[in-house]
Amino acid sequence: LQETTGKATDTLSVEEIIQKTYRETDASMSQNGKGRHSGTTAISVFQFGKSNEKEKNPFNPNVLYIANVGDSTIILINSLTGDVLYRNKPHKPHLPEESKRIKEMGGQVIEPPWFNPQATSRVLKKRSGIEGDINDLEPGVGLALAMSRSIGDLFLGEVAGVIPDPTVNVLDISEYQQQVRTNDSSNGKNHDNGSFLFVVLATDGLLDFVPAEEVAMALSHTINNKSNSATNTASASSYIELTKTCEKLIQKASNLWKIETNNYRDDITMAVHPVFVE
């Protein structure tokens, strides 16, 4: 992005740069001999700073560039109410556009049994005798991945259509902020200063057991209790409390994983950051 600053001035160019970076990261795993049978989900949020007297920013500072590969999630929340304003769409093998590519490239999609709501669809190299039900997947039949796009997992990229290409969404956060202001003004609320929009990044290890709405409400409660009422901005102590809230949410998900899966726990990661509108 630094190399392109001053040349790329539209959202399409930024999207292309982000997509190129994800693909190059995936390719580097092949070059160093890693990532053939392991990989990772990846999510990122970019917001450019506003211009100043010394440096002119050619990008819109009120735009968020949200990129994801795999099954992690990004949500935009109104910290005043705990409402979820935006949520990205993870890459899961059973989704029509993902399933079509997987099958065309030699892969197979395994559906979870109806009686297990916590199970997920998976992708693997097509094998004879497997008819699309996860119960047909016997031990040793091969690697089965719970997402249809990945950084790494190069073997499944070769034989089953798992790709590293991110979905990049462009959000005009000024529109979200204005929408919230309009709705709250009609209810007698006034918050002309500060930021009340936050982005939350989380792996499926958290959201498989703790709904996004519960996460948003817990964070909202913490932010509202610790924010500076004069400016509606988060105080230093609120960031400490936010960390504690995140720890509690992670611990809750961890406990539920162990109860439901006989002491297995998926990886659980989350991050929270305010979004500022110029």
**pLDDT tens digits, one per residue of 191-223:** 554 568 999 999 999 999 999 999 999 999 998
Q: Note the pLDDT of residue 41.
A: 94
- CA 203/CA 253 separation, integer angstroms: 11
Tokens read off for 76 = 């935009």
Do 217 and 211 touch, CB atoms closer than 8 A? Answer: no
Mean pLDDT along residues 183-187: 57
Pairing, β 270-275 against β 63-69: unpaired
Tokens read off for 206 = 């958290």
Mean pLDDT along residues 182-188: 57
pTM of the model: 0.81
- CA 234/CA 232 separation, integer angstroms: 7
Query: What CATH number does domain 14-275 carry, 3.30.1490.20, 3.10.129.10, 3.60.40.10, 3.50.50.60?
Result: 3.60.40.10
**Burial 245-267, CB ≥16 within 10 A → b, else e:** bbeebbebbbeebeeeeeeeeee
Do 104 and 121 touch, CB atoms closer than 8 A? Answer: no
Is the pLDDT at 115 greater than 70? The verdict is no
Residue 90's nearest CA partner among 197, 212, 214, 243 is: 212
Do 79 and 224 touch, CB atoms closer than 8 A? Answer: yes
**Number of residues that make up the chain:** 278
- CA 150/CA 160 separation, integer angstroms: 12
Would you kindly state where each structural domain of the chain is located, as residue ranges? 14-275
Residue 32 is classified by DSSP as T
Is the pLDDT at 142 greater than 60? The verdict is no
Q: What is the pLDDT of residues 7-56, one digit of tens each?
A: 544 555 888 999 999 999 999 987 777 788 889 999 999 988 776 666 66
Residue type, 189: K
Is the pLDDT at 112 greater than 90? The verdict is no
Mean pLDDT of the chain: 81
